[in-house]
Amino acid sequence: MRFDRKTALVTGGARGIGLAITERLLSEGARVAIVDRDPSVEAVAKTLGPSARALVADVTRSAEVDRAVGAAHAWADRLDIVVNNAGITGRSYPIWELSDEDWQQVLAVDLTSVFYVCRAAVKLMLPRQAGRIVNIASIAGKEGNPTLVPYSSAKAGVIGLTKALAKEVATRGILVHAVAPAVIGTELLQQMTKDTVDMLVAKIPMGRVGTPAEVATLVAWLASDECTFTTGAVHDLSGGRATY
């Protein structure tokens, strides 16, 4: 299988897109460390079997991230795949109704965490000159979604981080990609108003919401050894909304 003997780490893997990615990697032979702040991740990992392991950590705290990434690596003395998936949309309001905390919280979860996880993971991948990192950005980071200024800004930051890091490690066997989904059917949508969700679906030429399994399929390819001559790219999953 594609991921036999590989160790993967997926943040925010207890539900939604992260869970679909975790299940996909497990189904193809990987052992997967699921990093989530919610202790219910322990029960989720149990139901997924012995190749899944829960690591409770808040990805906005660098010490917790360093511990979790170190534990994932120590599991089988290797870390092959990292998927930065944990994210929140924050409150969906125009900028003049947002507080400092709204901004800081979204930037911390959606962008600073990606920096912390990549920093810790790349240090462990460099000695083996091999690794695959996939950062879940958003179409919001390419186009900007009204009433989601912090989210759009953070996801644009994830895209910039991905491009810069990919170039830093391009000759060291570590490939770094971003995925930019449009609307995907998960609990995250419940944080948005119905008007916001309707507005987002209306922009999708295919006229529907995407599925977590569709995201997992693309991520699995980007995380695999079949992906060899692309790095630093942003891969859209937007039903035709973004074609650039």
Which residues are annotated as catalytic? Answer: 151
Q: In the complex, what is the shortest distance from the CB of residue 94 to ligand NDP, in angstroms, rounded to a whole number?
A: 20
Burial of 47 (0-12, 13-18, 19+ CB in 10 A): exposed
Tell me which stretch binds ligand NDP (CB under 6 A): 36-44, 70-78, 90-98, 120-128.
Answer: 36-44
Please say whether the beta carbons of 127 and 79 come within 8 A: no
Q: Which of 187, 202, 243, 244 binds ligand NDP (CB under 6 A)?
A: 187
Q: Is 233 helix (H, G, I), strand (E, B) or coil?
A: coil
Contact residue for ligand NDP among 79, 106, 133, 183 (CB under 6 A)? 183
What would the DSSP string read from start to end of 132-189? EEEEE--HHHHH--TT-HHHHHHHHHHHHHHHHHHHHTTTTTEEEEEEEE--BSSGGG
Q: What binding mask, one character per residue, do residues 188-227 give for ligand NDP by CB under 6 A, x or -? A: xx--------------------------------------
Binding mask 108-137 for ligand NDP (x = CB under 6 A): -x--------------------------x-
DSSP letter at 238 equals S
Query: Should residue 242 be labelled a site residue for ligand NDP when binding is judged by CB under 6 A?
Result: no
Nearer to ligand NDP, 130 or 201 (CB): 201
Cβ count within 10 A of residue 224: 18
Question: Closest by alpha carbon to 181, among 229, 145, 127?
Answer: 145
Q: Which one of 35-43, 47-55, 125-133, 227-235 is the stretch in contact with ligand NDP (CB under 6 A)?
A: 35-43
Helix (H, G, I), strand (E, B) or coil at 106: helix
- Select from 66-74, 91-99, 165-173, 181-189 the region that touches ligand NDP (CB under 6 A): 181-189
Task: Show the tokens assigned to 128.
Answer: 């083996």
Distance (Å, whole) CA 137 – CA 159: 7
Site for ligand NDP in 37-96 (CB under 6 A): 37-38, 58-60, 85-88
**DSSP designation for 92:** -
Cβ proximity to ligand NDP: between 72 and 183 the closer is 183
- In the bound complex, what is the minimum distance in angstroms from residue 93's beta carbon to ligand NDP? 17
105 vs 89: CA distance, rounded Å: 10
Report the residue from 6, 8, 16, 117 that binds ligand NDP according to the rule CB under 6 A: 16
Residues in Cβ contact with 61 at an 8 Å cutoff, skipping those fewer than 6 apart: none
Binding site for ligand NDP (CB under 6 A): 11-12, 14-18, 36-38, 58-60, 85-88, 109, 136, 138, 181, 183-184, 186-189
